[in-house]
Each structure stands twice: as C-alpha cells, then as structure tokens.
C-alpha cells in the first residue's frame, strides 16, 4: 500500500494520516468548503475539495470520492468512523473500482448494519441477544401485540439505526402508540429505511464492548473490553478500559462471546461487539460496529498497539498475531470534548479563540486555535485520553489535567467533566448507562456549570 | 409585529407553521439542525404568522430573522 484516500474529516482523518506518515504511506484528504482550514487538510500529502458544506453534498458523495481516488492513483480508501464507514454500497464500489476498502467486506457491513439481521445471526451463533422481536414490525397493532409478549419498558429501535439516533424507550402501551410513527419517520429520514423492531429494556445496564480484529487467514482475536456507560442522549461521553466493577469470569465470557460473534460472520479488519450487562452480570449482544470506533485510543493505550496500523496490515493481507501475545497494561480513560453547553447539551458552534491543553494526556483533535467549529458536523472537537498505572492513577491525572485546560470561543463539556470525575458515582466505578443524567439531576442545585 | 430570531446557526430542517396561521407561546414552529442535533424552535409569543423568512434546507446564522408574528 503506497497511497490511501481518507474518506473522512477532522480528528479521525488526522489520526489516520499520522500512522500513514510513520509507515511512509501517502495520503489524500477530502474536505468540504467549511473544512478547508482544518489541520488534516494541510497534513495530508494531497487534498481535494469534494463539495459544499452539507455532508450529503460532500463527505457522502460516493461516486465523486471513488472517482477522485482513482484519478489520484490510490491503492486503498480508509473510511474512518461515521459518514460512509458502515455504508455497504461504498465498500462495494471501492472494491469494484479495483481499490482496497480498509474495513470488512460489503456483505459483512450489510449483514451487521441491519440490526434485525445481526440479531438473527447472533442467535444462530449462540451469542446471547436482548429479548425482542425477531422480525421488523410494520404496524402499530403488530408492535402492541409483540410488546405485550416482551413486556414494558422496552426500546423501539430503527433496524438501520446507529449513533443513538432512531431509538426511544417506551414505558407503556400509550408511549409506544405515541412514538411508533415518529420513530419510523425518523428512521426513514436519517437512514432511508423505516423498519423498526422492539427490544426488552434492560434496567441499570452497563454498556460494555469488546474490540475484535479478524484477518483474511481465518484468525479472529479480541483486544479486551471498554466500558462506555457514561452517555448523554444515548451517545458516549467517557469510555474506559478495563471496565471497572466487572468480575474476571464475566470479562472472559464477554471475550468468548465477541470472538464467537466475529467468527460467525468470518469477520475481517477492526470491529466492535457491543453488549449490555445487567446488574446480575448477565450480558446480551446489542450490535456489531463494522469499523474503527471513536474510542479506539482507549484500547491503544492499554495494549500499546496502533489499531490504524493493524487495519492497514489486515487490509493488505497480513496475518494477525496470536491472542496470547496481546496483553494490557494499566488503565485508560477517554473523554469526548464536545462543543456544547455543559448543562443543556445544546450545540455551541463558533471560533476556537483559545485552545490550550496542557500536559499529561494524549490529545486527538481535528482542530487548532483559530479554527471554526461549524454547525454542519459532529460537535466533537477533541478526545482526551489519559493512561495511568491503575484506575486511581488515571482518575487523579484526569482531575489535574482538566484543571489546566483553557478553551475559549465555544462552550464545551469540560466544566461537566471537572465535576463529574470527582463524583462518588464515577469514582466508585459502579455505574450504569443512566449515571450521567441521574447525577446531573441529583446535583442540579449544586453544580456550577 | 414581533420577530422570532435564530438562537444558533444551523440548517432549517422543517417549518411547522404557515403564513396566516395563529401560533401560541411555546408552540414549536421550526426545527433547526445544528451539529447533528435537531433543535425545535418555539414561538416566544402568540399571534398570527405574518411572514416566514426562511425555507427548508436553508442555512441560518445566529440572530437571523426566522418569522415575523403579528398581534
């Protein structure tokens, strides 16, 4: 592999360029009009203006991206995360154009992207799955009938959904009736597919996922787990590895189930098997993400590996190392710094007038001081990853770090981190997915956000 | 005549009121998408919608005029 095009933007584009530079691989960056001044554009070997600001007119322009890649003689395309990273049509077109798609095959993406199909596949493979409907539900009458069998509360979800979009918790028949058409409409608008299904709601659950990798020689390995239970609006905010408060035998059963899931679909490249774990440590498969994830640095910090390099190696036909050669050391925590109001979570686009990070953390950011954080894309401006000898050390380093960060020009969730990481709820390590909203509600009179 | 202005930059996702329609305070009249989040814009005052100054798919900056509402 001599030259790759990165079909993405900002932080992840910059991250991929860094590994490519180290390996002597040339890079082609694509960018919209709004992103022309971001650092990744000048850091790539070549840059192409792909279109206007809305993603549908730029970063989601499949034909145009493939055409540019061919014109520039690239060997492979890295999709990053989000955008086209789990678009089977894109993966297929890249392969048809004679280039390598750095990710799994289009068939795997298709199978795992359809949540109903992926649930069915995992049931057949013997992986525990959240109880729910085995087919999509098309009418409200059908949904109410199925729901009576599953019981309330339950989750109404879009089969093609992701990123916390297209899923709603329903407490009762009345709530399901109210939400049914709305979720179908949102699913259609966001994912082009209005198929929905029902899943039992598992109370007080932790969101724990296992990083896996597969190669083209039939090997599948796991790279341990990440706890992603600190969320707002069903989207991750803080991730850590290893997961605190998880018995070792449960941890090992999770790895086994993740490998079982990967082997069931002959998985290749980087993937993540997401589970929910209930208070009794019973776990259930949620979904498989067929890409590198935002939180991959957590795994990199504890394993000492470069997962982007692994992706390139596997895509190029290389073989994975044996499972027992992959070890972990210490504890890592990742914080997603969003340009948003720390209290309301409302977006806060603007100019980064000041951006001073300080020492003691790995910073993965797509922005520099003076850049615009525009309203067109995701609010994430940076990831802060802190590694410690153990969780106490990582927490202590986190507290010191956030006390010395200065960001001006946009609101961020850093004030929230400063208070939350000192809370008993987070420090205990014994927390479920509702921890952040519950803590905010409990402390609303006290905090100074 | 009262003016309803955008509280943040974003793309107009949909317009939920029509010119000539009566609106009440707190009623959602528009949805703006900013940073992948859908934000409902509510009427701050009641009255009859005189003019809608934006269209679906259009981009607005913070402070841009969205609607004028008569008494």
Answer whether A349 sits within 8 Å of B8, measured CB to CB. yes
| The predicted structure's pLDDT at residue A155 | 95
Residues A251 and A241 sit within 8 Å (Cβ to Cβ): no
Answer whether B36 sits within 8 Å of A340, measured CB to CB. no
- A-to-B residue pairs, Cβ atoms closer than 8 angstroms: 34
Q: Which residues of chain B make contact with A339, given a CB cutoff of 8 A?
A: 35
Q: How many CB atoms lie within 10 A of CB B63?
A: 10
ipTM value of the model? 0.85
| The predicted structure's pLDDT at residue A176 | 96
Residues B31 and B39 sit within 8 Å (Cβ to Cβ): yes
Residues A309 and A20 sit within 8 Å (Cβ to Cβ): no
User: To which H or E segment does residue A259 belong?
Assistant: helix A248-264
Token code pair at residue A145: 């009938």
Return per-residue pLDDT of chain A as tens, 449 residues: 999 999 999 999 999 999 999 999 999 999 999 999 999 999 999 999 999 999 999 999 999 999 999 999 999 999 999 999 999 999 999 999 999 999 999 999 999 999 999 999 999 999 999 999 989 999 999 999 999 999 999 999 998 887 677 889 999 999 999 999 999 988 888 888 899 999 999 999 999 999 999 999 999 999 999 999 999 988 999 999 999 989 999 999 999 999 999 999 999 999 999 999 999 999 999 999 999 999 999 999 999 999 999 999 999 999 999 999 999 999 999 999 999 999 999 999 999 999 999 899 999 999 999 999 999 999 999 999 999 999 999 999 999 999 999 999 999 999 999 999 999 999 999 999 999 999 999 998 887 77
- CA-CA distance, B12 to A219, in Å (whole number)? 48
Token code pair at residue A85: 């990273």
- CA-CA distance, B55 to A280, in Å (whole number)? 52
- CA-CA distance, A372 to A352, in Å (whole number)? 6
Q: Which residues of chain B make contact with A346, given a CB cutoff of 8 A?
A: 8, 37, 39
Question: What is the sign, positive or negative, of the torsion defined by CA atoms of A439, A383, A164, A53?
Answer: positive
- CA-CA distance, A344 to A351, in Å (whole number)? 20
Alpha helices in A316-431 (DSSP H): 391-402, 414-420, 424-428
B10 → closest Cβ in A339, A340, A375: A375
Answer whether B34 sits within 8 Å of A339, measured CB to CB. no
Burial class (CB in 10 A: 0-12, 13-18, 19+), B3: middle
| The predicted structure's pLDDT at residue A163 | 67
- CA-CA distance, B19 to B7, in Å (whole number)? 21
Residues A191 and A161 sit within 8 Å (Cβ to Cβ): yes
> Which of A9, A186, A291, A336 is the catalytic position?
A291
The helix/strand/coil state of A334 is strand
Q: What residues does each domain of chain B span? A: 2-70
Which of A347, A380, A410 is the best substitution to test chain B (most B C-beta atoms within 10 A)? A347
Answer whether A347 sits within 8 Å of B10, measured CB to CB. yes
| The predicted structure's pLDDT at residue A188 | 86
Residues A341 and B33 sit within 8 Å (Cβ to Cβ): no
Angle at alpha carbon of residue A352, lines to B65 and A83, rounded to 5°: 80
B9 → closest Cβ in A340, A346, A349: A349
Q: Which residues of chain A make contact with B11, given a CB cutoff of 8 A?
A: 54, 375-376
Chain B positions with Cβ closer than 8 Å to A? 8-11, 33-37, 39
A377 → closest Cβ in B8, B9, B35: B35
- CA-CA distance, A196 to A174, in Å (whole number)? 17
* Total number of residues shown for chain B: 71
**Helix, strand, coil percentages, rounded to 5, for chain B:** 0, 55, 45
Answer whether A54 sits within 8 Å of B9, measured CB to CB. no
- CA-CA distance, B43 to A71, in Å (whole number)? 51
- CA-CA distance, A292 to A226, in Å (whole number)? 14
- CA-CA distance, A253 to A104, in Å (whole number)? 24
The model's pTM? 0.94
Indicate the CATH number for domain B2-70: 2.40.50.100
Residues A78 and A102 sit within 8 Å (Cβ to Cβ): yes
Establish whether A336 is a catalytic residue: no
E runs forming strands in A102-219: 154-162, 165-170, 196-200, 206-214
Answer whether B8 sits within 8 Å of A347, measured CB to CB. yes
- CA-CA distance, A343 to A446, in Å (whole number)? 12
Question: What is the sign, positive or negative, of the torsion defined by CA atoms of A38, A39, A44, A45?
Answer: positive
- CA-CA distance, B13 to B34, in Å (whole number)? 10
- CA-CA distance, A409 to A349, in Å (whole number)? 9
């Amino acid at each position: 592999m001599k030259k790759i095009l990165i079909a993405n933007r900002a932080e992840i584009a910059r991250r991929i360029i860094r590994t490519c530079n180290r390996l002597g691989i040339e890079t082609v960056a694509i960018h919209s009009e709004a992103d022309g001044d971001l650092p990744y554009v000048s850091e790539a070997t070549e840059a192409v203006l792909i279109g206007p600001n809305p993603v549908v007119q730029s970063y989601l322009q499949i034909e145009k991206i493939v055409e540019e890649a061919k014109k520039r003689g690239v060997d492979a395309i890295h999709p990053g995360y989000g955008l086209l990273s789990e678009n089977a049509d894109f993966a297929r077109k890249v392969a048809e154009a004679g280039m390598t798609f750095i990710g799994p095959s289009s068939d795997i993406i298709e199978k795992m992207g359809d949540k109903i199909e992926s649930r069915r596949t995992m049931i057949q493979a013997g992986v525990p799955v959240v109880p729910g409907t085995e087919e999509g539900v098309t009418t409200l009458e059908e949904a109410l009938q199925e729901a009576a069998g599953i019981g309330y509360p339950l989750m109404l979800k879009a089969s093609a959904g992701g990123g916390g979009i297209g899923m709603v918790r329903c407490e009762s028949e009345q709530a399901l009736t109210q939400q049914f058409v709305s979720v179908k409409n949102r699913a259609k608008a966001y994912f082009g597919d209005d198929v929905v299904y029902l899943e039992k709601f598992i109370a007080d659950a932790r969101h724990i996922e296992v990083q896996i990798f597969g190669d083209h020689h039939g090997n599948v390995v796991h790279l341990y787990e990440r706890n992603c239970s600190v969320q707002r609006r069903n989207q991750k905010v803080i991730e850590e590895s290893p997961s605190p408060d998880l018995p070792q035998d449960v941890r090992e059963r999770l790895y086994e189930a993740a490998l079982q899931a990967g082997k069931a679909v002959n998985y290749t490249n980087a993937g993540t098997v997401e589970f929910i774990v209930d208070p009794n440590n019973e776990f259930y498969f949620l979904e498989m993400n067929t890409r590198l994830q935002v939180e991959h640095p957590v795994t990199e910090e504890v394993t000492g590996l470069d997962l982007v390099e692994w992706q390139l190696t596997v895509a190029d036909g290389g073989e994975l190392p044996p499972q027992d050669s992959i070890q972990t050391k210490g504890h890592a925590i990742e914080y997603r710094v969003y340009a948003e109001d720390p209290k309301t979570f409302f977006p806060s686009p603007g100019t980064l007038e000041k951006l001073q990070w300080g020492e003691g953390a790995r910073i993965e950011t797509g922005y520099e001081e003076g850049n615009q954080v525009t309203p067109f894309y995701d609010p994430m401006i940076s990831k802060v990853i802190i590694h410690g000898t153990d969780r106490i050390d990582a927490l202590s380093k986190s507290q010191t770090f956030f006390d010395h960060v200065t960001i001006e020009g946009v609101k961020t969730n850093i004030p929230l981190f400063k208070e939350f990481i000192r809370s008993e709820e987070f420090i205990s390590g014994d927390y479920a997915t509702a921890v952040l909203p519950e803590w905010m509600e409990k402390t609303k009179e006290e905090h100074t956000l | 005549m009262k003016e309803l202005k955008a509280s943040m930059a974003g793309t107009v996702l949909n317009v939920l009121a029509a010119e000539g329609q009566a609106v009440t305070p707190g009623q959602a009249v528009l949805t703006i998408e900013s940073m992948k989040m859908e934000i409902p814009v509510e009427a701050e005052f009641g009255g009859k919608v005189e003019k809608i100054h934006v269209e679906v798919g259009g981009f607005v900056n913070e402070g841009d005029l969205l609607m004028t509402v008569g008494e």
